[in-house]
Chains A and B, each alone.
Chain A
Amino acid sequence: MKAYFGRRYLVSASHRLHTPALTAQQNRAVYGKCNNAHGHGHNYVVEVLVGGAVDRETGIVVDLVALDRTVGECILDRFDHANLNLDPLFADRVPTTENFCKAIFDLLCDALPGGELELVRVEETENNFFECSARG
């Protein structure tokens, strides 16, 4: 039977929303206070949902310890307590939480220790979140 296993992780990081494609004035108009020159930060919650057959012997979809190790190496070590703008992934795109969510989905997609990545949700604050799913 197919089921899904979900795990939530905390990533504290800073970012600044700014694009060289727009003038300073336009950036300010589009991004508002998120365009503040010195950046700001969030406690992002990254929710990872892994789908797969429930193993008959163990009753699990994916090993929690192995999943934690993968997410730790691919995501937490890279982004926790970091400035997202300085990561090479965001050299040519704005680290909006939309783009951050897509980046996490792409980094984890082929790295999981079992199952298939069904959904990544990134909660930027308690009041807004973004999702990328395997369904496109």
Chain B
Amino acid sequence: MVFLTRRAAFSASHYYWNEAWPAEKNQQVFGRCANRNGHGHNYTLEVTVAGEPDPVTGFVVDLKWLKDVMEREVLSAYDHRHLNLEAPEFKNAIPTTENIAIAAWKRLESAINAGGCAGAGGAKLSRIRVYETPEIFAEYRGEA
């Protein structure tokens, strides 16, 4: 089994707010992240797929194909957007780094696991990492 990872960057704004809580509790729990005017990050998305290299091409997956899938499924929805207001999955979920990693997995899982990459086959989504800053990241491995 070989693991292949591709990185991509997106810039987006967000804020943390639980509508079920009074304002004071939101401010107490989320601190500066609860500012309703939002703030932003330069996120790094890392997508790891796992599989065996194709016997002919030697590819686990074609990196150009993976780049296009990431662009189509994730970056086009998140890059230079306000995640709370423009990404439907965050209408009822707080766009924490953890939830962004889970949401990116859901956006990519079927596109990657269905194959469709010529000259490579069988690669499955293995891990998503989302860096909010170089020092803070969240990871999702598809676990329940």
Contacts and interface: CB of A to CB of B under 8 A. Distances in A.
B137 A54 contact: no
B16 to A, nearest CB: 7
Nearest to A118: B139
Interface residues of B, number: 27
Interface of A: 1-9, 49, 54, 57-61, 64-65
Contacts of B29: 58
B27 interface: no
B41 to A, nearest CB: 14
A3 B101 contact: yes
7 contacts: A2-B144, A7-B136, A49-B139, A58-B94, A58-B96, A59-B99, A64-B136
B138 A1 contact: no
Contact of B140 (A4, A7, A64): A4
A27 to B, nearest CB: 36
A5 B98 contact: yes
B135 A8 contact: yes
B24 interface: no
